[in-house]
Amino acid sequence: MTFALVLFIALVVTGAIILFDRFRKRSNSTNSKDKKDSKGLSIIVEYARAFFPVVLLVFVLRSFVVEPFRIPSGSMLPTLFIGDFILVDKFRYGIRLPIINVTIFRTGSPKRGDVMVFRYPQDTSINFIKRVIGLPGDEIIYDKKQLFINGELLKREESDSYKLDTGNQNSLIVEYRESIGATEHRIINDLGRGSRSMKISVPKGSYFVMGDNRDHSNDSRFWGFVPEKNIVGRAFWVWLSWNPKEGGVNWSRIGHVIL
């Protein structure tokens, strides 16, 4: 059961209790048994009245405006760290009915370079976050760790390199600044790992996504495309970063704008 469904159920239950109480008060019954029952229900009704506006506000904000998520893995390094708490713009790509996620009003479409949250196509109960690389109709080529979109090699410039202890060996990590559309972002390649070469066309109504940690990301190269109906929203801000293994709060990450 998803958190959105839990909120919806709480909203329906508290709202139903409030409506029932109003209907009961309109009743003309005045016998003692009814009065005893009304006293027994008073605490439940008061709790419903207190919680209903709070649940309604959270439900509306979370469904149509912004939704918080936590980054559980390093697939988007160096853009997003493990333990980053982010906000996702739910309005950017359209207004969707909660729970069933049906678009009722479109406000925009994902663009190349957007960091997008979506429901994993192979298990829609799981949310993934990746960068949009290919739009509907695009031809994507990934070969020898080089990315081509519609035959054009994406520009990138090496910005850093360092060794990373992976347990069995020290891998050489190379960081690049990559440009896609009007967006410049950072990616990393692990020179100690091979890359999967592929050439593929993005079908209508779908998107091709990749992690910025190119050699350690479970993305469209392995499981295919993201259908438009699976889109949740665009990640735009880090409001907290917490990693106990690194000493707790990472203060430098707070307020970080996601590009």
Taking CB atoms within 8 Å and a gap of at least 24, the contacts of 143-151 are 143/197, 143/198, 143/199, 144/195, 144/197, 145/189, 145/195, 145/214, 145/215, 147/178, 147/210, 149/112, 149/180
Same domain, 52 and 171: no
- Provide the CATH number for the domain around residue 119: 2.10.109.10
Q: Averaged over 43-50, what is the pLDDT?
A: 90
Cβ proximity of 186 and 178 under 8 Å: yes
Same domain, 94 and 200: yes
Same domain, 28 and 135: no
Does 130 qualify as catalytic in the annotation?
A: yes
Q: Please give the pLDDT value at position 195.
A: 84
Terminal Cα-to-Cα distance of the chain (whole angstroms): 32
Does 171 qualify as catalytic in the annotation?
A: no
Same domain, 117 and 35: no
Domain boundary among 64, 81, 105: 64
Q: Nearest Cα to 159, choosing from 186, 135, 139?
A: 186
Owning domain of residue 174: 66-253
Q: Nearest Cα to 239, choosing from 90, 63, 70, 58?
A: 70
CA distance 179 to 156: 6
Q: What is the pLDDT of residues 114-144, one digit of tens each?
A: 999 999 999 988 999 999 999 999 999 999 9
Same domain, 91 and 146: yes
Q: Please give the pLDDT value at position 166.
A: 53
Identify whether 122 is part of a domain. yes
Cβ proximity of 234 and 93 under 8 Å: yes
CA distance 87 to 97: 19
Same domain, 51 and 75: no
Identify whether 259 is part of a domain. no
Domain boundary among 64, 83, 99: 64
pTM as predicted = 0.85
Same domain, 197 and 151: yes
Q: How many domains is the chain built from?
A: 2
Marked catalytic residue, from 130, 145, 217, 241: 130
Identify whether 151 is part of a domain. yes
Q: Please give the pLDDT value at position 90.
A: 92
Same domain, 70 and 133: yes
Confidence of residue 257 (pLDDT cuts 50, 70, 90): very high
Q: Please give the pLDDT value at position 106.
A: 83
Domain boundary among 64, 94, 114: 64
Identify whether 149 is part of a domain. yes
Same domain, 51 and 143: no
Marked catalytic residue, from 75, 217, 220, 241: 75
Same domain, 107 and 210: yes
Same domain, 29 and 78: no
Residue 33, pLDDT above cutoff 80: no
* Number of neighbouring beta carbons within 10 Å of residue 36: 10
Identify whether 258 is part of a domain. no
CA distance 89 to 138: 25
Q: Nearest Cα to 192, choosing from 210, 175, 174?
A: 174
Same domain, 103 and 176: yes
Residues linked to residue 238 through DSSP beta bridges, in sequence order: 86
Identify whether 183 is part of a domain. yes
